[in-house]
Structure 1
Amino acid sequence: MPEIAEIARIVHFLRAHLVGKTVKNATAIEDANVFGKVGTTGPEVAKALKGRKVVSAGNQGKYFWIVLDKPPHLVMHFGMTGWVHIKGEQTAYTNYYKKMKPEEVNAWPPKFWKFHLQTEQPEVSVAFTDPRRFGRVRLVDCPGESIRKHSPLVENGPDPVVDSEIFTVDFLKKKMRARHVPIKALLLDQTTISGIGNWVGDEVLFQAKMHPEQYCDDFSDEQIETLHKAIRYVCQLAVDKLGDSDEFPKDWMFHVRWGKGSKDAVSHLPSGEKLAFLTVGGRTSCYAPAIQKKTGKVVSGVKEEPLESGEDDPKPKKAAKSKAKAAKADVKEQESEEESEEEKPRKRKKVVEEDEKPAKKGKTEAVKPKARANGSAAKAKPPVKAKSEPKAEPKVDDGRRRSGRFKKSDFFD
């Protein structure tokens, strides 16, 4: 999922190719998820863009925006698989385009587009795409210079790079002392710090040598200072490299943390320390137990899952089942990470997105033929009634799921 570095990359391209130009044409499809869930529509977005000059582009954590010469302005969020494409430019990475069919690479507008625009001369074409439809595109009606003082940006915490003067050691210390949650959960909370997702959070804790499930209010002042340095270091360097992982330091955990459930998984760091996963409340953390040791209280009942090497050749059936579970869990985990403070009150109950339904639909379709078969059998031979057979108690779903992890290639989506 795009995090702080990928958002900085997109804003870089928008500033280089779109800012300063006037939008000649804009088209948007109607999408009840991408537009509707944040109170707008595709036609309204197209209307807001057409004829307007793009004055600037900015970012805060996982959000980014374009300021027009007249309100409303566009504020966007990629969700899990959103991206912005510019015709003739490779805004994503080589891996992204390798997964596309030849005819899709040069197609315009690109596949899964939600809106696209064309500027006046010199002509530039830009499109927002999102296969999974967890991304959001909204209109914010306010002066351009006040955009961060309005929802949804105002509900989110400071960006460690953009807001370095706000994100200080004292700020972090106050936030950690005021909560009693695992440190990994605190880092992922966008209302506390903007832009940190799962891979950045794991990297930060690895660099700080902190156990991911230790309570955030159980670290010393010295450890908090170390954590602050690690956050600034990882985020700043990733942004400076525009999220290009080939440019990340070779000793970063990033390069080896993506293999859970994969036959080709790397089970240890280049230095030899083994990797493991922890799952608490449906959230997953990759860490190095020999380096990230417990120094205080941790969540009880945590189960450590060693990352097995591909040399162990896991059984195909179990591997397939593991991947299926990981895919479902990732959707829910990543969707949870994306919730801003304004969205949380409305999500008391888990809402199943249209994109998640195919998995359940497959299960339903498998049951129907069985029901028809039973019906036919009933006509041929009536079933024998049980005299005193007790009814089976329904299984209780405790709501906990194991989280999986995307492979490295998904990071570029």
Structure 2
Amino acid sequence: MPELAEVARIVHFIRQHLVGKTLSKVQAQHDDIVYGKVGTTAAEFQKALQGKQVMGAGQQGKYFWITMSSPPHAVMHFGMAGWLKIKGADTYYYRSDKPVDQEWPPKYWKFLLETSDEPKAEAAFVDARRLSRIRLVDCPADEIRKYTPLKENGPEPVADKDILTEGWLAEKLKSRKVPIKALLLDQANISGIGNWMGDEILYHAKIHPEQYSNTLSADQVKELHTAMHYVCSTAIEVLADSEKFPEHWLFKHRWGKGKKNQSSALPNGDKITFITVGGRTSAVVPAVQKKTGLATNSTGDENSKKISSASKRKRATKQEDDSEVDDKSKPEIKSRGPKRQSISAIKKEEDGEEKDVVGPVERRRSTRSRK
């Protein structure tokens, strides 16, 4: 699913095109999963936004919101395949030349917004796989993070630097005995970090993703904290445009898995390997990331093997987003389908042909460029 940087990109476009304008037209198509799973209906959503002024937009990790001139406000996350399109704007800039992206309204829309103010703006929330969530939160705009679902999620590395300090992180790591990659992916711990960002952070921190969180040394905690803020802030600064990511990032070189005549290695020759941690395929550079403490799948660690087996069974019916605390059953998805290596975990095109893959929802060039 879109991670911290990808969501920041959309918040940027909302502020640029919608904030300060009045919604003269709101259309919503009811979906008993996208709306209904979180206790909202399309009719309620439409009524709540119609005729109101968009006052602001914000995010906490993978969640984002649009605040209106009066409550309730719209709080959303993209699931695996959701996105927000703005007519005439390149939110999917790498695909703007494709005819399918010129269609309006776009396929699989869940709501459409149109402003009365000039220049007029039109926006559409789309989701082919119906794993996104759209809800209304009735509260003062400046207290939105005190309400579900945001209050159940951990601090965000960029927005909450004053909370997510090195000391806070050290205490969090000590309190859990789980693979460090799994801890980073759990939105109840830290908001916004998904698969590719987790791998990038651990690579820069020189920490193996399988090592248990409570075995990290003080120096490793410091490196992890530094790497977390560095990766997250850098990715947000360039609005998830991977062409602007530093050339030495793991992200630039990790995408050769499964491709003919293309190896996965860093420019210096260090090999990139792939393992499964916390239910996700993780890119690891063994020459850099070594286990310095007890880790899953370590020799003789029978307990961790049992945990790993149980986790695999549990993951067979578990949805991508662990942060959706009030929507844990998610029966609509029973399996991920065939695994393929790709940054984009959405559809092949906007014609409904989907790819179920391992990896985050990184919008090709919105979050990648691996030429």
For the aligned pair, the TM-score class normalised by the smaller chain equals 0.7 to 0.9
Tell me the residue number matched to 2:84.
84
Amino acid at match of 1:20: G
Tell me the residue number matched to 1:117.
113
Structure 2 stretches of 5 or more lacking a match?
Answer: 300-311, 339-356
Superposed displacement of residue 46, structure 1: 1.1
Tell me the residue number matched to 2:321.
338
Deviations 1:251-306 (CA, angstroms, capped at 9, x unpaired): 1010122333333543211111001111245332111001101111111269xxxx
What SS class does the counterpart of residue 116 from structure 1 fall into?
strand
Tell me the residue number matched to 2:220.
223
1:284 aligns with 2:281: yes
Is the contact between residue 205 and residue 211 of structure 1 (CA under 8 Å) also seen in structure 2? yes
Deviations 1:345-364 (CA, angstroms, capped at 9, x unpaired): x43xx724399799xxxxxx
Deviations 1:337-392 (CA, angstroms, capped at 9, x unpaired): 41226236x43xx724399799xxxxxxxxxxxxxxxxxxxxxxxxxxxxxxxxxx
* 1:146 aligns with one of 118, 143, 146: 143
Superposed displacement of residue 409, structure 1: 5.9
Is the contact between residue 81 and residue 361 of structure 2 (CA under 8 Å) also seen in structure 1? no
Amino acid at match of 2:295: V
Deviations 1:41-87 (CA, angstroms, capped at 9, x unpaired): 11111111101111110011000001001111000101111111111
Tell me the residue number matched to 1:51.
51
Amino acid at match of 2:24: K
Whole-Å Cα distance in 2 between the matches of residues 254 and 262 of structure 1? 16
Tell me the residue number matched to 1:353.
333
Is the contact between residue 179 and residue 296 of structure 2 (CA under 8 Å) also seen in structure 1? yes
What SS class does the counterpart of residue 166 from structure 1 fall into?
coil
Cα gap change, 1:73 to 1:406, in 2 (>3 Å): closer
Whole-Å Cα distance in 2 between the matches of residues 56 and 97 of structure 1? 26
Superposed displacement of residue 107, structure 1: 1.4
Whole-Å Cα distance in 1 between the matches of residues 34 and 213 of structure 2? 34
1:29 aligns with 2:29: yes
Deviations 1:196-225 (CA, angstroms, capped at 9, x unpaired): 000000000000010110000001111101
Cα gap change, 1:408 to 1:334, in 2 (>3 Å): farther
Superposed displacement of residue 17, structure 1: 1.0
Cα gap change, 1:354 to 1:54, in 2 (>3 Å): farther
Structure 1 stretches of 5 or more lacking a match?
Answer: 303-328, 359-402
Whole-Å Cα distance in 1 between the matches of residues 253 and 279 of structure 2? 22
Whole-Å Cα distance in 2 between the matches of residues 264 and 405 of structure 1? 21
Cα gap change, 1:281 to 1:188, in 2 (>3 Å): closer
Is the contact between residue 2 and residue 361 of structure 2 (CA under 8 Å) also seen in structure 1? no
Tell me the residue number matched to 1:172.
169
Amino acid at match of 1:46: Q
The alignment's TM-score, normalised by the length of structure 1, stands at: 0.76
Is the contact between residue 200 and residue 234 of structure 1 (CA under 8 Å) also seen in structure 2? yes
The alignment's TM-score, normalised by the length of structure 2, stands at: 0.84
Whole-Å Cα distance in 2 between the matches of residues 406 and 240 of structure 1? 19
Amino acid at match of 1:351: P
Tell me the residue number matched to 1:391.
none
Is the contact between residue 77 and residue 136 of structure 1 (CA under 8 Å) also seen in structure 2? yes
Equivalences for residues 147-296 of structure 1 within 5 A: 147-263=144-260, 265-280=262-277, 282-296=279-293
Is the contact between residue 188 and residue 197 of structure 1 (CA under 8 Å) also seen in structure 2? yes
For the aligned residues, what is the CA RMSD? 2.7
What SS class does the counterpart of residue 117 from structure 1 fall into?
strand
Percent identity between the two aligned chains: 51
Cα gap change, 1:281 to 1:18, in 2 (>3 Å): closer
Higher radius of gyration, 1 or 2: 1
1:107 aligns with 2:108: no
Cα gap change, 1:193 to 1:356, in 2 (>3 Å): closer
What SS class does the counterpart of residue 2 from structure 1 fall into?
coil
